[in-house]
Amino acid sequence: MASASTGPSVARDATPSSHHPFRYGWTTFAAVLMIFGGAMAIFEGIAAIAKDNVFVATRNYVFQFSLTGWGWIHLILGIVIVLAGCALLTGAAWARVVGIVLAGLSALANFLWLPFYPFWAIVLIAINVFILWALCAGPQEEEGA
C-alpha cells in the first residue's frame, strides 16, 4: 500500500520535463527580462562612452558622475546581465542568485543614472524590479501554478 501512494509522485518526478528550465514561467520571464534589460544597458553604455548628444546632465543633482565612467559601468553590467539571463534560460542553478544580485546592482546603477536620462532610467529600474520579483518567487511557488 505504501508503494501505491508514492508511485504517482515518483513517476511524475521522473519525467524529463520536470527538470526543464521552461517549466517555470516566472524564471523564464525573469531570464527574458534580464536579456532585454542587459541589452538596453549595453546600448546605454555605448551611447554614453561615445558621448552621444542624447544625454544631458542635470545641474546641481545630488549624485554627479562622469558620463564616460557611467558608460563603462552600464556596458560591463549589461554584458554580465545578458550572460546571466542566458544561463538562467539553460537552467543553471547559480544564475537565479546571480540574477538577483545583478538586478539589484542594475537598479541601483539606473537610480544613479537618473540625471542623465530620467525616463529610460525609470523604465530600467521597473524592469529590474520585475526581475527581482520573478526570481524571488522561486520554483517552489511556480509548481502550484
Task: Indicate whether 28 belongs to any domain.
Answer: yes
65: confidence class by pLDDT, cuts 50, 70, 90: low
Residue 139: all three cell numbers together? 520554483
pLDDT at res. 56: 62
Task: Kindly report whether the global pTM for this prediction surpasses the value 0.85.
Answer: no
pLDDT averaged over every residue in the chain: 77
Provide the domain count of the chain. 1
Phi-psi region of 53 (alpha: psi -120 to 50; beta: other; left: phi over 0): alpha
Whole-number Å distance between alpha carbons of 137 and 131: 10
In 3D space, the residue among 104, 103, 120 whose CA is nearest the CA of residue 54 turns out to be 120
17: pLDDT strictly greater than 50: no
- Alpha helices in 14-117, H assignment, sequence order: 25-49, 67-90, 94-112
Task: Indicate whether 97 belongs to any domain.
Answer: yes
Are 101 and 135 spatial neighbours (Cβ–Cβ below 8 Å)?
no
The whole domain housing 97 covers 24-52+63-139
Task: Indicate whether 112 belongs to any domain.
Answer: yes
78: confidence class by pLDDT, cuts 50, 70, 90: very high
Q: What is the DSSP string of 108-128?
A: HHHHHTTTT-HHHHHHHHHHH
Task: Indicate whether 85 belongs to any domain.
Answer: yes
